[in-house]
Amino acid sequence: MSELTPLDIAHAAMEAAPGDDNARLRYYERLSDSELFLLLTKEGSGDQISPEIFDLGDASFVLVFDREERLSSFVGKAAPYVALSGRVITQMLVGQGIGLGVNLEVATSQNLIPPEAVNWLSETLAHSPDEVEARAEELYAPKDLPEALLIALDAKLATTAGLASNAYLVAVHYEGGSKGHLLGFVGTVEGAEGALAKAAGEALTFSGIEAGSIDVGFFSASDPMAAAMSKVGLRFELPKLEERARVVRAAPGSDPAKPPILR
């Protein structure tokens, strides 16, 4: 028996608890985070790809697999494909009236995701918390936050290697009397603020938490706010980016800001 993948495990949990919205959200989170192998009609050219599209009556679907060998097993022969994250594929398909066929006939996690669910997932992934603008008067240790959120933040921030040094989650009392929670990133790489805010937003959304319930902020290591957060906050370590030879990536989807174009 082949080893279960994270997507297999999340799908099984969702199937075992059909009324559990959190299990469903965790499945879609795994789908968006996973590298998926998209079946093509021919090799991609530049930023254009030509997926195999299957008409199943009520809707059309492209086929994706979370392991290369699963795609090969389904096709039964060598076939062109492109490896993209689930979020990039979702962004590519939104509004096209095309759904996702996931691991069809090759795994227990086989699933047909209709076009309307693809559109919902794309909209969900677009949400992110607001960057804090109000001045913090007092900081406290975070409280009354669900464990599912803390686990989701830890897992999501582990995917943001090299974008910041670390982050702190604190309860905060702002000028003007408002209160809330703040996820403060320390030592953020210039230009990475949007990606970090989006990662935090996804952790909130897929934990069943409203995105507006936590603010995000970005601080230099020398900012007094960083020192204040370190005294009371829950610390999240972000992985360091491994030093490696620079490689020019020209494959479709290598730039997440420019998803491939269907043709």
247 assigned to some structural domain? no
Q: What is the pLDDT of residue 201?
A: 85
pTM value surpassing 0.75: no
pLDDT tens, position by position, 33-77: 899 999 999 887 667 889 999 998 788 999 999 999 999 999 998
How does residue 178 score in pLDDT terms, banded at 50, 70 and 90? Answer: confident
CATH number where 213 lies: 3.30.429
Residues 48 and 261 sit within 8 Å (Cβ to Cβ) = yes
**Digit-coded pLDDT (tens) for 225-235:** 999 999 999 99
> 120 and 10 in one domain?
yes
The span from the CA of 237 to the CA of 31, in Å, is: 24
What is the residue range of 121's domain? 6-126+256-262
Between CA 161 and CA 151 the distance in angstroms is 17
Output the average pLDDT for the chain.
Answer: 85
89 and 165 belong to one structural domain: no
pLDDT of residue 143 exceeding 90, the answer is no
- Quickly state the pLDDT bin for 189 (edges 50, 70, 90): very high
Task: Please classify residue 88 by burial: count the beta carbons closer than 10 Å to its beta carbon, then call 0-12 exposed, 13-18 middle and 19+ buried.
Answer: buried
- Output the pLDDT for position 16: 95
DSSP string covering 163-215, please?
Answer: S-SEEEEEEEEETTS-EEEEEEEESPPTT-HHHHHHHHHHHHHTTT--GGGEE
- If you search the block for the tokens 């992985």, which residue do you land on? 239
Report in angstroms the alpha-carbon separations of 210 from 33, 63, 233: 20, 32, 21
Strand pairing of 48-49 and 261-262? Answer: parallel
**Same-domain check for residues 114 and 166:** no
Q: Alpha-carbon distance 115 to 95, whole Å?
A: 8
Q: What percent of the chain has pLDDT over 70?
A: 86
CATH number for the domain harbouring residue 66: 3.40.1350.90
- Same structural domain, 41 and 101: yes
Angle at 231 between CA 206 and CA 176, to 5 degrees: 70
Burial of 240 (0-12, 13-18, 19+ CB in 10 A): exposed
Tell me the pLDDT tens digit for each residue of 66-106: 999 999 999 998 899 999 989 899 989 999 999 999 999 99
Is the residue at 237 inside a domain? no
Residue 146 lies in a domain: yes
**CB contact set of 213 (below 8 Å; sequence gap of 6+):** 180, 181, 204
